């Protein structure tokens, strides 16, 4: 059996608490012979600053580059509000994304039936929702040049941001979306604003050509980003995989997250280019939530987003879809039993701690 190297970066705030539950599950999966993980631990964010006076050490950067997958919990907190800007906790995460060239951000929005009443929408609209937003992460208007504020004199200033996309950037993110759809419900919705943006025209053209050339078996539709936003809160279950640029993806994935109820439930993956010889991708898995300093150290954080992030690693880095399904089913069953951490409590349910939630999921596994 292949041994997979996992680099675990617990980070700050509730990070170490939710990561402890993932470590428990990773150890169990290895012990039971489902998979062979070799787990290394590193420091990132404030916890790295406290020890090394940097947001991530060169040593840990190298280990991240060498790992088969990196699991990160969360960084930041008021303790580090006054550290120099380039050493701030978030700089560690940005460095990882940049050096590992993680250009694809995958954000699933899954609504477990047991939690459908916690959504911002009516139960029937979201019950059983399972969509995936694929957001381009390293290009577009957040990075395009020129990017500046020009003083025009006479009290006037001009701000410039530039949206730039090259064919290869659209192709590689499109390929990820189509490949994902083949493993899911075989449908991709591509979104841009070609009616007002040249980048949207190129996006539409490149995705359409890629579809004809490499993925004719997958159903493709195009929706303008504003219309898609509307459809997301109107009839979200029509979507399977949504692929879009950095800016629209940022906004749409936050909208989608509120369809599902709680921040404590949502995992994410960031993927890089495939290695031409091994076929493996650089990959980082992390919950959508932050370090939640307000509840850190209390043992009440919800570890499900972090545990689902391990599930995404099983699926997208190790091709172990069966095991990932088993993990997802275990989470669903624990919720069906009425076991809840405080953030998702409500109704006839039992409120349990972070580690009790980890244990309950382990029990189901
Ligand atoms: P960041 O800037 O790092 O994204 P943030 O301030 O946007 O952080 P979070 O740290 O994610 O937000 O937390 C927002 C609130 O949601 C927290 O105050 C916390 O109460 C709640 N929360 C976030 N994650 C969890 C979790 N795993 N379990 C329980 N509650 C959570
Ligand atoms: Mg935030």
pLDDT of residue 76: 97
Domain with CATH 3.40.718.10 in the chain: 1-108+264-365, 130-259
User: CB of 223 closer than 6 A to ligand 1?
Assistant: no
What lies within 8 Å, CB to CB, of 350 at 6+ separation is 338, 339, 340
Please identify which of the residues 12, 112, 165, 193 carries the catalytic annotation. Answer: 193
Which backbone phi and psi does 24 adopt, to 5 degrees? Answer: -60, -45
Of all ligands present, the nearest one to the C-alpha of 288 is 1
Whether 345 lines ligand 1, by a CB cut-off of 6 Å, is: no
Close Cβ partners of 363 (under 8 Å, ≥ 6 residues apart): none
What number does CATH give the domain 130-259?
3.40.718.10
Say yes or no: CB of residue 301 within 6 Å of ligand 1: yes
DSSP 3-state assignment of 241?
Answer: strand
Q: Ligand 1, atom 31: nearest CA belongs to which residue? A: 264
Cβ–Cβ < 8 Å for 68, 280: yes
Ligand 2 geometric centre to CA of 288 (Å)? 8
Q: How far is the CA of 91 from the centre of ligand 2 (A)?
A: 15
Tell me if 304 CB under 6 Å of ligand 1.
no
Q: pLDDT 10s per residue in the chain (365 long)? A: 889 999 999 999 999 999 999 999 999 999 999 999 999 999 999 999 999 999 999 999 999 999 999 999 999 999 999 999 999 999 999 999 999 999 999 999 999 888 888 778 888 899 989 999 999 999 999 999 999 999 999 999 999 999 999 999 999 999 999 999 999 999 999 999 999 999 999 999 999 999 999 999 999 999 999 999 999 999 999 999 999 999 999 999 989 988 887 788 999 999 998 888 887 899 999 999 999 999 999 999 999 999 999 999 999 999 999 999 999 999 999 999 999 999 998 776 789 999 999 999 999 99
pLDDT at 149: 97
Rounded to two decimals, the ipTM of the complex is: 0.93
Which superfamily is assigned to 1-108+264-365 in CATH? Answer: Isopropylmalate Dehydrogenase (3.40.718.10)
């Amino acid at each position: 059996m292949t041994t997979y190297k996992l680099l675990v970066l617990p980070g700050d705030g509730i990070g170490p608490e939710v990561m402890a539950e993932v470590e428990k599950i990773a150890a169990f999966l290895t012990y039971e012979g489902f998979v062979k993980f070799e787990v290394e631990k590193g420091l990132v964010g404030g916890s790295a600053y406290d020890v090394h006076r940097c947001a991530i050490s060169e040593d840990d950067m190298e280990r991240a580059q060498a790992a088969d997958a990196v699991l990160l919990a969360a960084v930041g907190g008021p303790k580090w509000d006054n550290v120099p800007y380039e050493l701030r906790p978030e700089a560690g995460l940005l460095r990882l994304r940049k050096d590992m060239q993680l250009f694809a951000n995958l954000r699933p929005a899954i609504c477990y039936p047991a939690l459908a009443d916690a959504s911002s929408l009516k139960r029937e609209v979201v019950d059983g929702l399972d969509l995936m937003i694929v957001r381009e992460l390293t290009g577009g208007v957040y990075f395009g040049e020129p990017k500046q504020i020009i003083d025009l004199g006479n009290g006037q200033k001009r701000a410039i941001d530039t949206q730039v996309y090259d064919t290869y950037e659209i192709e590689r993110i499109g390929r990820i979306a189509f490949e994902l759809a083949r493993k899911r419900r075989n449908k991709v919705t591509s979104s841009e604003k070609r009616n007002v943006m040249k980048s949207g025209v190129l996006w539409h053209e490149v995705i359409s050509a890629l579809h004809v050339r490499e993925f004719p078996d997958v159903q493709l539709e195009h929706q303008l980003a504003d219309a898609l936003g509307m459809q997301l809160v109107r009839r979200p279950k029509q979507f399977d995989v949504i692929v879009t640029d950095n800016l629209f993806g940022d906004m749409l994935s936050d909208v989608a997250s509120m369809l599902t109820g709680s921040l404590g439930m949502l995992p994410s993956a960031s993927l890089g280019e495939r290695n031409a010889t091994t076929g493996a991708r650089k990959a980082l898995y992390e919950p959508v939530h932050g370090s939640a300093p307000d509840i850190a150290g209390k043992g009440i954080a919800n570890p499900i987003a972090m545990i689902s992030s391990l599930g995404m690693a099983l699926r997208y880095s190790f091709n172990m879809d069966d095991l990932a399904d088993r993990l997802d089913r275990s989470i669903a069953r624990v919720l069906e039993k009425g076991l809840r951490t405080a953030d998702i409590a409500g109704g006839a349910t039992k409120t349990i701690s972070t580690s009790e939630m980890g244990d309950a999921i382990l029990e189901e596994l």
